[in-house]
Amino acid sequence: MLITGKKRIRKCGKYIKHLSESEKAYIGLPITEDVSSRLKEIGFKELSLGESLVPSPKLGPISRFNANGKEVAQRHLPKETVYRQQHWEWEDWNGTSYSRTVDIPYQRYPRKLIPAPWLALTIIQSKDKKFVIAGDVIVKGETTEENITHQINLMLELFKSAEILQENLESYQIPKIERLNWELLPAGNMPWEKFKQKLTPILDKKSKGKKMIIAERLEKVSSHNPDFHAIGTNGYHGYIVFGFTDINLYIFETAEYGNATYVFEGDWKTVSSRTKSEIIQGNLHKHRFVHLEGWNKKIDNLFSSNDENKMIS
C-alpha cells in the first residue's frame, strides 16, 4: 500500500488494516532513480546491500526527533533553576580587551526527556530489486502503532511517500548492517590549528558567542595531544572523538551547544554503535561532564599524575 501526498499522518490504523494479526511487513520504498538520488543527498555512499544510517537531525522535525529525542515541559510542576553559558567580550576605557564565559541562571519548567527512536534507513534486496526500509520489520498486533506511525512519517518527511511492503522470507536477504557513524581522520598527533580546519564546516554555522565557547572546549581536550580523531556522521552529527589509545581513554565532545562531554574506556567503536539513549540509560560511559564551571578541571584530572585527582583507572 502506497502512502503519498501527505507530510505526515497522525495514526497508522487505516494504512495497516489489510495486514492480518501477527503478519510481518516493512515500511519502505523500492529504490527508483529519484529515491536513489535522494538517498545520496541524505548521506548514503554506494547504496550497497546492508548500508545503513540514521538520517541527520537537520533534515526536518521528524528526523530531529528520531536522532535526538525531545524534551517536554512539565507545566504541572514548579519551575526550577537551570543554567546556560554565555560568552562576553568587552573593552575598558583604555582599549584593553577582556573576555569571560559565565553560567547564567534562569527559571523554567522541568523537562521530561522522550528518548530518540534512532530508526535507521537500511538498503535491502529482493531478487534483483533493492529497497530502502525505515527501522525493523513491523508485526501487526505486536509493534506499537506509535512506532509504526513514526516509521511512516520518517519516510514521508524524507521521500514524500512510504509503502507498506510485504515480507517474503524466501527472497529477502537481510544483510548484516553496516552503520556509517564516524569519519576517521589520519592517525597521529594533530596540532589544534590543523584540526580546527577540519571543524570549520561545523563551527561556522554557530553564532559568534557559541562558536567561541565550543572552540575553547575542543581546544582544551586537544591540548592533551590525542593520537587520533573521529568526526561523527550518521546520528552522531556534531560529535568528535578524541582518542588516547595509550591510556585506553576516549573523549566524546560535541560541537553542539549545551550538551555534555562523555568519557569512555575500552572499545569505543562498540559503544558508539549504540544509540545515545542506550548509552545514557545503560550507564555505559565512565564519566559525563556537564558544560558548566569546573569542566576544565575535570578534563585535566583525566590525565592527572596525582592519584588523588586521577579520574580514570
Residue 246: partners with Cβ closer than 8 Å, 6 or more residues away: 227
Cβ atoms 141, 106 nearer than 8 A: no
DSSP-assigned beta bridge partners for residue 99: 89
| Selected residue with higher pLDDT from 122 and 260 | 122
State the pTM of this model. 0.65
Cβ atoms 87, 207 nearer than 8 A: no
| Selected residue with higher pLDDT from 209 and 60 | 60
Question: Cα separations (Å) of 124 from 37, 132, 274?
Answer: 17, 6, 21
DSSP-assigned beta bridge partners for residue 81: 107
The answer on pLDDT for 63 being more than 90 is: yes
- Predicted confidence at residue 129, as pLDDT, reads 86
The answer on pLDDT for 208 being more than 80 is: no
- Predicted confidence at residue 171, as pLDDT, reads 31
**pLDDT tens-digit map of 124-133:** 988 888 899 9
**pLDDT tens-digit map of 85-111:** 888 888 888 888 888 888 899 999 999
| Selected residue with higher pLDDT from 3 and 274 | 3
